[in-house]
Structure 1
Amino acid sequence: MATSAIPYTLLLLLCLASFKTSIATHVCDPQRYQQLGLNMRNFPFCDITKPYSERVKSLVDSMVLSEKAAQLGNNADGVPRLGLPSYNWWSEALHGVSYVGSGSHFDSAVPGATSFPLPITTAAAFNELLWLNIGQAISTEARAMNNLNHAGLTFWSPNINVVRDPRWGRILETPGEDPYTVGRYAVNFVRGLQDVEGTNATSGDLNTRPLKVSACCKHYAAYDLDNWSSFGNLAVDRFHFSANVTEQDMVETFQKPFEMCVKDGDVSSVMCSYNNVNGIPACADTRLLKGTIRDEWNLHGYIVADCDSVETMVDDQKWLNDEPENAVAQAMRAGLDLDCMTYYKNFLVNTVAKGLIKERDMDNALMNNYMVLMRLGYFDGSANYEKLGNADICSKAHTDLALDAAKQGIVLLKNRKTHDFFLPLDPQQFKNKQIAVVGPHANATTVMIGNYAGVPCRYVSPLQGLATYANVQYQTGCADVMCKNDSLVWPALRAARDADATVIFVGIDLTVEHEGLDREDIELPGYQNQFIRQVANAATVKGPVVVVIFSGGPVNVAALETNPDIDAIIWAGYPGEEGGQAIADVIFGVYNPAGRLPVTWYTGDYVWKLPMTSMQLRPDVNLGYPGRTYKFYNGPIIYPFGHGLSYTDFQYELVSSATMSVEKQLGLVQHCLTLNYIKGAPAPPPCNAANVDDLECLDGDMSIVIKVKNVGKMDGDNVVMLYSQAPQGILGAPIKQLIGFQRVFVKAGGIATVTFSLNSCKSLSIVTDTAYVALPAGKHTIIVGTEAPEDTVISIPFNVDIRK
């Protein structure tokens, strides 16, 4: 049985022993200046009576050209003569404070931080409050680590790229395939990281509102290919790939979460990506950066490049055959404020000397950057957080939240209720019974925390978790996820044959999917399928067989779904440091699973139907490519987006809808939009649609109330998912699109009421082939639930009348 990497009690002792009474000083501290032999009164940027804008301008104006350039890389050098210290902008907090990026680190003083589930698992909870709470917990630990000089204040998280293809290696870092879900995740996680409790985060001058820590939504835009090789016939990587994307797909899918992150989450940073978008490097595209992020969406913060993106333009993409100074000029003119790595620092002085940019362009970038540091209290301190220290890192409240998050994100994929054996197992019956725990992930620790991780407070492996409920017989069966060591199989078979229940832990890991590595297929790797069949067959002599899958991206489990020897399948994603206990609690019914898949699980032949390089979301009839994601793919699948079982049964009932229709009036100078319809479709309304920008769109003009009944015998959560369908016959309209979701707890035999207050323009709109966001007239359909019989699906007609 594995032991914790850092036992919890030992960690607490280390934390107490290393607690520092002296909190890290802020820049504008008179004593600090005195120690430097400087008088703080000589530096107007430290005058707290002045507005931030004046102070930042004073700081920037105080620098000479070379000093300005030295501040525009992630390792800002500082200016000793001004008393300005060096600062490392690069810290990461994807699912906990990470050691990735040199801005954060761990040692005996701060031995670990809470490692929450990866975003793909947390997204499966479909719980906005959970996402907010995780962001708040991470930012508290980040602030404590900053006080202890172990982290910065600027964190380049979250990753909010939409999952377009199941082979992408970074799916584990993302909230899934649905742009709306990804956007809502971004808004809540960012609010959790950034918002200072007790301040109004949505009004006043948002350019100066205080920040707890600074978040960064990445990677913008149309980035979802890392390094893909199609069985040796084609090799494409993110440093050379041009994502050729229609404006329709950009508006509808690739930009939508970023727009929500900036507008609704008020994120203080956006990171541009390595790839080209329609032939132009994303970090040098003026329309994408300055035109959209800053001018159209009104970013209150800075734009940063993914690391070495500017150098990539020169060395890999050879865009316009630019010399370094030309590339730097292109990026800065496009609106790139900060360069991760050294190209800005090395070449900006020469770029100005050559007349390729103005020094004022550098000033504007520096002011965007330092305004964020002002808001963080980097210069003046932050009374709200100055007392945070070791006791606020790896606290019981945070490890409990990590456990709860893992349980909420676990998805029950299969549960054979027609069989004598099915989940949950009874803890009382198994107290003195034996469970065989086998497979390459049965004793998982580091696997559970995936990538962009820090040092966790502790690990609770599946083996440890299950051992709290029953006697465990552990045999790995496989040396790794390839399952090629035959000598380990027989002991696993023997353990399964003799056990009262068998749990097989399989899936993939960072050797199969990660940043820089896309998959060629979506199969379980190596001989895992053979191993599972053998163990399941041996185990049916005495008891039930449960398969638990660790993965970010979907895997082809069609054979497991139809195998009569396998009673249940659980997807755990990458569940974080408490993952083993969460899985055990679900298997033994201490927790009733309610997670839903945030990505579609396809059959294995999907990868032969189209290459990863095809960016189009809608089907391509000419090439025979199917559509992508649940919104446009209508081929065979194993589990749909939103699939997830429970140990109890729920029923939905429409209570009321405040309005079953809405009426929109166009003004004299506003015009109807003409839509394209499928041949043979019903006659469209005289006014096909209207541009949403031309309409009065009010939050709450759609109100749908659903009664959720728990008609089973076990308390549990239910995720109510709400979809819209456009009027019949509109060419290119999504099959359906998610417009709302709520997670609600319902006692056995009880009833809960869920109210969706929606904006009809946002919830019923589509994006036309010419990239207008349009509200179609006619009969829309609102769908409650993802699938039957697991969900009792309700269809609600909703009429939109547009008058000219």
Structure 2
Amino acid sequence: MGLSSVVITFLISFLSLTAESTQPPYSCDASFHPRYPFCNPELPITQRAKDLVSRLTLDEKLAQLVNTAPSIPRLGIPSYQWWSEALHGVADAGLGIRLNGTIKGATSFPQVILTAATFDQNLWYQIGKAIGTEARAVYNAGQATGMTFWAPNINVFRDPRWGRGQETAGEDPLMNAKYGVAYVRGLQGDSFHGGKLGERLQASACCKHFTAYDLDQWKGINRFVFDARVTSQDLADTYQPPFQSCIEKGRASGIMCAYNRVNGVPNCADFNLLTKTARKQWKFDGYITSDCGAVSIIHDEQGYAKTAEDAIADVFRAGMDVECGDYISKHGKSAVVKKKLGIGEMERALENLFSMRIRLGLFDGNPTKLPFGSIGPRQVCSKEHLHLALDAARDGMVLLKNTNSLLPLPKTNPTLALIGPNANATSLVALGNYYGRPCNLVTLLQAFQGYAKDTRYHPGCHNGTHCDRASIQDALDLAKNVDYVVLVMGLDQNQERESHDRHYLGLPGKQEQLIHTVAAVAKRPVVLVLLSGGPVDITSAKFDHKVGGILWAGYPGELGGLALAQVIFGDHNPGGKLPITWYPKDYIIKVPMTDMRMRADPATGYPGRTYRFYTGPKVYEFGYGLSYTNYSHNLISLSQTTLHINISSTHYYVTENSETIRVTNHGSMSGKHPVLLFTRQGKVRNGNPVKQLVGFESVKVDAGETVQVGFQLSLCEHFSRANEGGSLVIEEGSYSLVVEDHEYPINITL
């Protein structure tokens, strides 16, 4: 969302709404009109919503179509704020949450890109569940005016420059799909492993940004005016699958349409996208919000609509339900008078909106006496949630290099130098973006001092991660006189964030110079830690023999400092794997950020994008990650080596296959280990992927132990490919199942 131009207007409206003395503490309070049918919990939700909407005046209807919905005192309905944030913890970045009362903070989990590196769906679900619990606690404590949270971000991290890639589960559509399902089910209060979602919600999740949204600001082109030209093929197998899964399998109750246009049409004004695809094809049954200010830009900046009234009519005709902004407040009445916005379209949207509030239990009397009503402040920042945040941080960290087993460092109370612009990371660095007030942030310096009392710190750079100038001599003096050196480099929100895409894939400023200069004088090879959301070209450090260990730690959250110290000193065995390809610096010279094509084009030298289609050199591959132990993998039960589909005029048989992989830990440390299963076509043709992730599981394997991991493969789901028309097809021929570096051949006959 845009957090700049609209915030002041919204905040004024929000403060005025909370000051109203005529509204009840909650809808259907016994002292207000308890006999209205919309207050009767025995009636179907759709019937209750229709009854409520039928009682609204035109002005009341228009007023409810924006995110800051005012109270309706005559019906006993309080104000409601649709905009709340919970990307990786309950945040006060929107307007619906106030972490300044009894509850003064919330568990701040690692930024999503690091959590994704765990490849652990159950962990993702548990995090969503914890966030949903804390969100309900904040509401029950009277510190929230909304329970609709605009997360998760399930856009594919298509381009390494994207400032918001840190918010996503990486570059693979299957990963984003499974992350979205797990998070949504957890936050909304649904069971993870199947089961029908009840009508009642713990909190409401919203999958964003729908669709093909992954550019913020690049060479003067911004997300507000960008027209993403996307092929039907790329839509079908890259951009849309996460949203389809979020709706069909996650049963998300909200969608946010994105700012940008896709093939000329603004997402929020696209009937084919919002209604035909989401509602009719995927059976979406929730509400659709615009991104903040998106309705206004359809006329004001994109010029797609001739007038403001046309823009409003376009979005509601397309299927949108609520605007984040105030454009409707300014122009909605005029759109109705000019007969551009129909009453029926408004009422459809309002019924969707009030149905959501009813599902949240906000029209059943005092919500603290209903399901989820017993959740209170003690469940915010609980030991259980903080331990979950610690697990997510340390399980996600990726060991990229460990020459001669330099890591873990000995616990003999060594002297230690902690050097670098991120070596004492504060909230700006450790938490990423869209974070709330943490319960208790542990800095890297604090955590390392718990292992090595003589830990000496120096930032090494001037002007933070920009590192305009490096304090080379100070760093050298420090490095020469300690047993071990840990360099903590990377990025922060100055380099990558919303509204700011990267323009360089290397380390900023003098960071690289600082690494090699310090490494050259240190007594032993140094450890390099990188904090970042997007990939960084560290080729020089990768091949510098004086850099003995490299760890990527993402933006690790409030307990990230402790997690990193535990990993470096061996109290935790790292097992994370990269959820993104790390490209060389010159990739961005070859590939315009505005080019949405996923597939390589040999004729023009276009190298393609992500591990699925990229054909050029890599710094590190998607799925790469080392450990302090060694694992072996064997496919022990391939149910058939020839898979067969039999198609006739009356029957369509699809063979399901159960594959089992044996994983053995040959080392002396136990560890969490993600097992990634890919398919590869024998002869890549027709723009098909080089390889395709079809399943992943994270398993705990004790030292010397062997465990088995099962995968269920379906021909249609795991071996189909999108053709140029966007249809999924299965091609006959040779394939392989790929686990780590092992390939197991199979054949498909039609």
Query: Into which bin does the TM-score normalised by the smaller protein fall?
Result: over 0.9
SS in 2 for 1:796: strand
Q: Which residue of 1 aligns with 2:6?
A: none
SS in 2 for 1:780: strand
Q: Which residue of 2 aligns with 1:258?
A: 243
Q: Please say if residues 500 and 544 of structure 1, whose CA atoms lie closer than 8 Å, have aligned partners that are also in contact.
A: no
Q: Which residue of 2 aligns with 1:218?
A: 208
Distance 2:672 2:378 in 1: 32
Cα deviation code 1:564-606 (max 9, x no counterpart): 1100010000000000000000001110000000000011111
Distance 2:653 2:131 in 1: 39
Q: Which residue of 2 aligns with 1:344?
A: 328
Change (3 A) 1:729 1:535: closer
Distance 2:271 2:654 in 1: 30
Q: Map residues 394-405 of structure 1 onto 2, 5 A cutoff.
A: 394-405=381-392
Q: In the TM superposition, what is the alpha-carbon distance from 1:696 to its structure 2 partner? A: 4.6
Q: Map residues 210-609 of structure 1 onto 2, 5 A cutoff.
A: 210-229=200-219, 235-320=220-305, 322-380=306-364, 381=367, 383-417=370-404, 422-427=406-411, 429=412, 431=413, 433-446=414-427, 447-470=429-452, 471-479=454-462, 480-486=464-470, 488-539=471-522, 542-609=523-590
Q: Which residue of 1 aligns with 2:713?
A: 758
**1:49 and 2:42 equivalent?**
yes
**1:650 and 2:631 equivalent?**
yes
Q: Which residue of 1 aligns with 2:743?
A: 795
Distance 1:764 1:621 in 2: 24
Distance 1:258 1:489 in 2: 48
Which amino acid in 2 is paired with 1:740? Answer: G
Q: Map residues 608-627 of structure 1 onto 2, 5 A cutoff.
A: 608-627=589-608
SS in 2 for 1:637: coil
Q: Which residue of 2 aligns with 1:713?
A: 668
SS in 1 for 2:252: coil
Change (3 A) 1:136 1:729: closer
**1:738 and 2:693 equivalent?**
yes
Q: Please say if residues 124 and 595 of structure 1, whose CA atoms lie closer than 8 Å, have aligned partners that are also in contact.
A: yes
SS in 1 for 2:311: helix
Which amino acid in 2 is paired with 1:391? Answer: R
SS in 2 for 1:601: coil
Q: Which residue of 2 aligns with 1:106?
A: 99
Q: Please say if residues 38 and 51 of structure 2, whose CA atoms lie closer than 8 Å, have aligned partners that are also in contact.
A: yes
Change (3 A) 1:695 1:518: farther
SS in 1 for 2:744: strand
Distance 1:73 1:622 in 2: 49
SS in 2 for 1:365: helix
Gaps of 5+ in 2: 1-23
Q: Please say if residues 177 and 599 of structure 1, whose CA atoms lie closer than 8 Å, have aligned partners that are also in contact.
A: yes
Q: Which residue of 2 aligns with 1:185?
A: 179
Q: Please say if residues 780 and 798 of structure 1, whose CA atoms lie closer than 8 Å, have aligned partners that are also in contact.
A: yes
The TM-score, its normalising length taken from structure 1, stands at: 0.88
Q: Please say if residues 726 and 776 of structure 1, whose CA atoms lie closer than 8 Å, have aligned partners that are also in contact.
A: no
Q: Which residue of 2 aligns with 1:168?
A: 162
**105-114 or 357-366, larger mean C-alpha shift:** 105-114
Q: Please say if residues 196 and 210 of structure 1, whose CA atoms lie closer than 8 Å, have aligned partners that are also in contact.
A: no
Q: In the TM superposition, what is the alpha-carbon distance from 1:350 to its structure 2 partner? A: 2.0
Distance 2:150 2:96 in 1: 11
Q: CA RMSD in A?
A: 1.6
Distance 1:242 1:531 in 2: 41
Gaps of 5+ in 1: 1-23, 230-234, 670-693, 786-792
Distance 2:260 2:511 in 1: 35
Distance 2:210 2:626 in 1: 34
SS in 1 for 2:466: coil
Q: In the TM superposition, what is the alpha-carbon distance from 1:504 to its structure 2 partner? A: 0.5
Q: In the TM superposition, what is the alpha-carbon distance from 1:797 to its structure 2 partner? A: 2.0
Distance 2:659 2:190 in 1: 32
SS in 1 for 2:77: coil
**1:704 and 2:659 equivalent?**
yes
Q: In the TM superposition, what is the alpha-carbon distance from 1:225 to its structure 2 partner? A: 0.4
Q: Please say if residues 483 and 531 of structure 1, whose CA atoms lie closer than 8 Å, have aligned partners that are also in contact.
A: no
Q: In the TM superposition, what is the alpha-carbon distance from 1:201 to its structure 2 partner? A: 6.5
SS in 2 for 1:563: coil
Cα deviation code 1:631-682 (max 9, x no counterpart): 011111110000000000011112112233332222328xxxxxxxxxxxxx
Q: Which residue of 2 aligns with 1:3?
A: none
Q: In the TM superposition, what is the alpha-carbon distance from 1:108 to its structure 2 partner? A: 4.3
Residue in structure 1 matching 2:728, options 764, 773, 776: 773
Q: Map residues 90-129 of structure 1 onto 2, 5 A cutoff.
A: 90-129=83-122
Q: Map residues 663-742 of structure 1 onto 2, 5 A cutoff.
A: 663-668=644-649, 695-697=652-654, 701-742=656-697
The TM-score, its normalising length taken from structure 2, stands at: 0.94
SS in 2 for 1:776: coil
Distance 2:178 2:399 in 1: 23
Q: Map residues 131-146 of structure 1 onto 2, 5 A cutoff.
A: 131-146=124-139
Change (3 A) 1:475 1:729: closer
Distance 2:230 2:140 in 1: 44
Q: Which residue of 2 aligns with 1:11?
A: none
Q: In the TM superposition, what is the alpha-carbon distance from 1:458 to its structure 2 partner? A: 1.0
Q: Please say if residues 598 and 641 of structure 1, whose CA atoms lie closer than 8 Å, have aligned partners that are also in contact.
A: yes
Q: In the TM superposition, what is the alpha-carbon distance from 1:537 to its structure 2 partner? A: 1.2
Which amino acid in 2 is paired with 1:315? Answer: D
Distance 1:201 1:348 in 2: 42
SS in 2 for 1:644: coil
Distance 2:289 2:273 in 1: 13
Which amino acid in 2 is paired with 1:117? Answer: P
SS in 2 for 1:452: coil
SS in 2 for 1:260: helix
Q: In the TM superposition, what is the alpha-carbon distance from 1:477 to its structure 2 partner? A: 1.2
SS in 2 for 1:69: helix
SS in 1 for 2:355: helix
Change (3 A) 1:361 1:631: same
Which amino acid in 2 is paired with 1:641? Answer: F
Q: Please say if residues 307 and 341 of structure 1, whose CA atoms lie closer than 8 Å, have aligned partners that are also in contact.
A: yes
Which amino acid in 1 is paired with 2:137? Answer: A
Change (3 A) 1:483 1:241: same
Q: Please say if residues 665 and 705 of structure 2, whose CA atoms lie closer than 8 Å, have aligned partners that are also in contact.
A: yes
Change (3 A) 1:547 1:269: same
Q: In the TM superposition, what is the alpha-carbon distance from 1:798 to its structure 2 partner? A: 2.3
Change (3 A) 1:294 1:87: same
Q: In the TM superposition, what is the alpha-carbon distance from 1:620 to its structure 2 partner? A: 2.7
Change (3 A) 1:395 1:562: same
Cα deviation code 1:675-706 (max 9, x no counterpart): xxxxxxxxxxxxxxxxxxx94557xx111101
Distance 1:218 1:375 in 2: 21
